Amino acid sequence: MATAEAALEEPPKKRSKKPLLIGLILALVLGGGGFYATFSGLILGSGEDHAEKEHVPGPLTGIAFVPLETIVISLGPDSGSEHLRFTAQLEVVDTAAADVTTLAPRILDVVNSYLRAIDTASIEDPQAMARLRAQMLRRIQVVTGDGRVRDLLITEFVLN
């Protein structure tokens, strides 16, 4: 009886790996085709035309620059340099450009007074530039009134 049962029992069949292989190949082909279609612009429009339309800058409005005269400040004997040459421009609201230009002598007085009053070690420290700029901008904004001057752009800061 054991032989009859053994004859009736067949070894389990191995599952075919063919469907798995076909699925994997189809996934790779469809993924590659989708990538190509999207990258080349066939799907979701042309990539180059779309990028050009988004990155075209509009007109620059509401901004003006007021140049300040160059200031030369003599430094003390304990300094490694003799003079500081300072030139800057003010970024202003375009409607306030005339007002700020009118106040230029007062602005120069405030900046000149500030630069003469600070310690020469602060001027010579390269990391102090941001602090100096912020301090001068705040003083200029007090002189000109709120909302007129947006930023102080230092164009020349030379120690010699």
Q: pTM of the full predicted structure?
A: 0.63
- Residue 91, pLDDT above cutoff 80: yes
Higher-pLDDT residue of 82, 12 = 82
Confidence of residue 149 (pLDDT cuts 50, 70, 90): very high
Higher-pLDDT residue of 42, 103 = 103
**Looking at residue 106, what is its pLDDT?**
97
Confidence of residue 5 (pLDDT cuts 50, 70, 90): low
**Mean pLDDT across 104-121:** 93
Confidence of residue 15 (pLDDT cuts 50, 70, 90): confident
Is 149 exposed, middle or buried (CB count within 10 Å of its CB: 0-12, 13-18, 19+)? buried
**Looking at residue 145, what is its pLDDT?**
94
- Sign for the CA dihedral angle at 115, 125, 157, 68 comes to negative
The percentage of the chain sitting over the pLDDT mark of 70, rounded to a whole number, equals 88
Domain spans of the chain, in order of start: 17-56, 63-159
Q: How far is CA 44 from CA 32, 51, 52, 112, 140, in A?
A: 16, 12, 15, 58, 51
Query: Would you say 68 and 87 are in contact if contact means Cβ atoms under 8 Å apart?
Result: yes
CATH dotted code for 63-159: 3.30.479
**Looking at residue 125, what is its pLDDT?**
86
**Looking at residue 53, what is its pLDDT?**
60
Query: Would you say 115 and 67 are in contact if contact means Cβ atoms under 8 Å apart?
Result: no
Tokens of 106: 């007062």
